[in-house]
Amino acid sequence: MQYRTLGRTGVQVSSLALGAMNFGRIGRTTQDEATAVVDAALEGGINLIDTADMYGGGESEEMVGKAIAGRRDDIVLATKAGLPMGDDPNHRGSSRRWLVTELDNSLRRLGVDHVDLYQIHRWDPETSDEETLSALTDLQRAGKIRYFGSSTFPAHRVVQAQWAAREHRLGRYVTEQPSYSILQRGVEAHVLPVTEEYGLGVLVWSPLASGWLSGAVRAGREITTSRSAAMPQRFDLSVPSNRARLDAVERLAVVADEAGLTLIQLALGFVTAHPAVTSALVGPRTTDHLNAQLAAADTVLSADVLDAIDAIVAPGTDLAAHEKFDTPPALLDPALRRR
């Protein structure tokens, strides 16, 4: 396992990190299974675990808390807040009112007195940067969080938040967590240059592209992954973007085979090769899944392999742009771009 500095914090984190979204009802994972995955991850050299309040309605945090009991100090623990936690309109977003309340809820579920990294799950257009950063700065000074970061922010909002922190003399985001994979490379054109400019640590999610790069989705096979069952439209081969992804996967499989790698090793080796990326988040449901992903921990792709990937999916290209979560609202709502 490789270890890298998380932005400018000085904290050393593993190049592969454990994402806990599949713990609980989302991945149909029991506590024993979740604990086994955490055990195997730590044994494999992973030292960063990332979860969120809304994963399973808090269930993931509870499972992570039980799995790490007695070894909290060995783990860089990250969680997130901001997405809805129920129907109440104030049980979401990044207002001071909600973040102060929800951090305490997360700490209770995790069974800890602090988290190392607290992330705003999505940019909240209803709340000013000053409001959010002020609350996070106070929570940091209270010792409840060590650092704070953003997740899936558009590049211009990452810049705006850095400016607001300086303007109002508040703590700043030290990390960003974008979606990034061989099939979704748009962040290379905007988000990653910004994170490099500001020295942010980058924890990328969905490096296996929701299972497209796991080896389970291949031409001529029935697609039976858990993600395809939950989101069938993303795997419907009558959709042009999905056909483009399948074509890319078939060509990438040839590149991987010629390099003596699995498709998973190719995919994870690709994202961790980018100089802006600190860690790739893997989200296994089982220890078998994790072991297949840990096999990529020391994968270093040659220039020839990286060039071959570029020839299949061009740098800065998203094969399914409509699935992006960091798209500026005006590109999605015509009313926002018309007088």
**Strands 76-81 vs 48-50: parallel, antiparallel or unpaired:** parallel
Active-site position among 3, 55, 118, 147: 55
DSSP 221: S
Radius of gyration of the chain (CA): 19
Strand ranges (E), 46-200: 48-50, 76-81, 115-120, 145-151, 175-177
Among residues 11, 49, 32, the alpha carbon closest in space to that of 283 is found at 49
Among residues 271, 323, 272, 314, the alpha carbon closest in space to that of 15 is found at 272
Angle at 285 between CA 284 and CA 286, to 5 degrees: 95
List, in sequence order, every residue forming a beta bridge with 50; answer none if it has no partner: 19, 78
Q: What does the DSSP assignment read for 133-167?
A: HHHHHHHHHTTSEEEEEEES--HHHHHHHHHHHHH
Q: Which amino acid is at 115?
A: V
Q: Quick check: is 55 catalytic?
A: yes
- By annotation, the residues acting in catalysis are 55
